[in-house]
Structure formats: structure tokens, C-alpha cells
Amino acid sequence: MKRIFVLFLPVFLLSAAVLAQPGGFQRQTAEERVAAIHAKLDSAFKTDPAKLAVLDTALTVLFKQQEEKMREMFASGVRPDRETMMAERKKYTDARDEMIKAVLKEEEFVIWKEKIEPSMYPQRPQGGGFNRNRDN
């Protein structure tokens, strides 16, 4: 009996550890993205709540339009080419930046773009650990 217990305890612990791990990457909703931007702007610059409320509404509409556009692009079943997707994302990013720029002062916007925004979107590793460009 002890032998069976000793054999199954590590298996049980390992399976419990695997099941406790979070699932795969899940996209944030438009509201979650707006809330993150709102929190960062408010904590960093103490922005006027009325301006932030208007910005929240505008960003929510923009992010929902972006989600819908991406859904349309993938709905055909054929993955769009990278350039098309990047151009589409750039349009929405530029629109978002213009909205934020309207709320912040010029020097605050520079701080936003250089320091705060990059920290909001950490870079995920690319390629799954296989280095195709490695010289052998």
C-alpha cells in the first residue's frame, strides 16, 4: 500500500501543477483595454475626470470598431496577409494616439508614447524557441 502511495503521489502532484497553470493567451475586451489606458493616464498625469470620460467613450467605440474589422478580415476563412493587417492596425493606433493627444499636453504625450505605452504591451517571445537564422 505504501509503495502505491509513493508512486502515485508524484503523479498526482505533477498533474495538479499542470492543471493549475493558466490557459492560453486571451485577448482583452475593448472595455478592459480602455480601463487599462484610463488607469495609466489617471495615475501618471492626474487627468481631468471629464476629459477621461469622453476619452473612455471614444476609445471604447474605436476598439469595438477595430475588433469588428479584424473579425471581418478573418471571417472569410483565409488569413489576410501581414501587410494588410499591419496597415489596418496602424490606422486604429493612429486614431487612438490622436484621441489621447487631445487629452494630454504635448510633453505628457511624449512621456506616454516613450515610457508608459510600451510598458502596457509587453513583447511576447516569437517563434517558439526555434531559431531559423542560426548559423551552423
pLDDT tens, 82-134?
898 899 989 999 999 999 999 889 999 999 899 888 887 766 555 555 555 55
**Mean pLDDT in residue range 44-50:** 87
- Report the candidate in 111, 72, 69, 115 with the shortest Cα–Cα distance to residue 93: 69
What are the phi and psi torsion angles at 124 (to 5°)?
-90, 145
Percent residues over pLDDT 90 in the chain: 29
Give counts: helices (H), strands (E), the chain. 6, 0
pTM of the model: 0.66
- Report the candidate in 120, 128, 121, 94 with the shortest Cα–Cα distance to residue 41: 120
**Mean pLDDT in residue range 53-71:** 91
User: Does pLDDT of 20 surpass 90?
Assistant: no
